[in-house]
């Protein structure tokens, strides 16, 4: 019975996707993955909107007043939560958003989630049980953290003073994430799936430093520091308190070895291998990211 219902839902979505004017909405359209997904959907000829505080209508995770208006007429929805699904209260926001999405007739949802984060996995379950066909794209650390976030400043400083420098992580490229999300939004067969996305190899910060030096010629010294020293450094860098807590959590709890395994989500969703970190660094370097 459940299988038959899922088939009907997928066929309905396929019928709607026959039109290139099917409305797509990206919550967090200015983020690393959001803007890439928007570019891909537009290239395919789809109508797509971005929802953020600066959009019209505006979208604010801390103000539900106009969420109904934002979701009106939307058929497929990509959700990225700011700052991270691991923060307290994220599941309450996601639960409310999903209920509104269902009431508004949204027919497909893709949720960006985090590997090894209990709060994020609660949000995943909410999405999968929302009554709207949903796909979970579960990721860890992005390659682009090193070119589009504050990590770039650490690379350019010549020193990476971080905890757990010995722990391997399967860094994933934001372009791979965007490709998987776009496929899940536009193609049949992805509903109900959880895609674990990583790159093709586990890398420690010392591995990253070596690759960075080989590609750019810049020396990068890795120093393994205590949690207390790391947090103090974040505060000295004048990061907001909420961001200090989030980065501390990601480095000292999520980066504890729980994600030291490779996922096959890119292969399963797209039928090809994921991009590797060295290629990312080479591309970013040629684009002038480390000048």
For residue 233, how many other CB atoms are within 10 A of its CB? 15
Residue 20 CB: number of other CB atoms within 10 A? 10
Give the mean pLDDT of 53-69: 94
Tens of pLDDT, residues 230-248 = 999 889 888 889 889 989 9
**Cα 110 from Cα 130, distance rounded (Å):** 12
Residue with token string 């984060």:
117
**How many angstroms separate the CA atoms of 97 and 62, rounded?**
12
How large is the C-alpha radius of gyration of the chain? 19
Contact 70, 104 (CB under 8 A): no
Tokens of 95: 């639960």
When pLDDT is averaged across residues 188-215 and rounded to a whole number, the result is 97
Q: Which of 156, 288, 145, 171 is nearest to 212 (CA)?
A: 156
Domains of the chain: 2-140+174-197+261-275 (3.40.50.720)
Sign of torsion, CA 80 188 139 175?
Answer: negative
pLDDT at 70 over 50: yes
Of 163, 109, 155, the residue nearest 136 (C-alpha)? 109
Q: Work out the pLDDT band at 1, boundaries 50, 70, 90.
A: very low
**ω into 57 cis (within 30 of 0):** yes
In the block, residue with structure tokens 């691991």: 86
Within 10 Å of residue 143's Cβ, how many Cβ atoms?
27
Among residues 49, 41, 37, the alpha carbon closest in space to that of 74 is found at 49
Q: Indicate whether 20 pLDDT > 80.
A: no
Prediction pTM value? 0.90
pLDDT of residue 16: 42
């Amino acid at each position: 019975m459940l299988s038959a219902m899922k088939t009907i839902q997928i066929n309905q979505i396929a019928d709607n996707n026959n039109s290139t004017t099917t409305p797509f909405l990206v919550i967090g359209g200015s983020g690393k993955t959001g803007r890439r997904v928007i570019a891909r959907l537009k290239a395919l000829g789809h109508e797509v909107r971005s929802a953020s505080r600066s959009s019209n209508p505006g979208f604010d995770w801390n103000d539900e007043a106009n969420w109904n208006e934002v979701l009106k007429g939307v058929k497929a929805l990509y959700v990225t939560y700011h700052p991270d699904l691991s923060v307290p209260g994220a599941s309450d926001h996601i639960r409310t958003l999903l209920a509104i999405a269902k009431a508004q007739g949204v027919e497909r949802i893709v949720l960006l989630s985090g590997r090894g984060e209990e709060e994020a996995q609660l949000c995943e379950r909410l999405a999968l049980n929302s009554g709207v066909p949903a796909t979970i794209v579960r990721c860890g650390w992005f390659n682009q953290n090193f070119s589009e976030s504050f990590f770039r400043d650490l690379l350019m400083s010549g020193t990476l003073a971080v905890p757990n420098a010995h722990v391997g992580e399967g860094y994933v490229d934001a372009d791979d994430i965007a490709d998987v999300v776009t496929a899940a939004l536009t193609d049949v067969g992805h509903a109900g799936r959880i895609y674990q996305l990583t790159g093709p190899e586990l890398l420690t910060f010392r591995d990253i430093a070596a690759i960075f030096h080989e590609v750019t010629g810049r020396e990068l010294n890795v120093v393994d520091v205590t949690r207390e020293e790391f947090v103090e450094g974040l505060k000295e860098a004048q990061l907001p308190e909420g961001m200090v807590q989030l980065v501390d959590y990601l480095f000292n709890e999520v980066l504890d070895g729980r994600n030291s395994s490779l996922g096959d989500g890119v292969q399963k969703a797209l039928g090809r291998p994921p991009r590797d970190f060295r290629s990312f660094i080479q591309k970013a370097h040629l684009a002038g990211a480390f000048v």
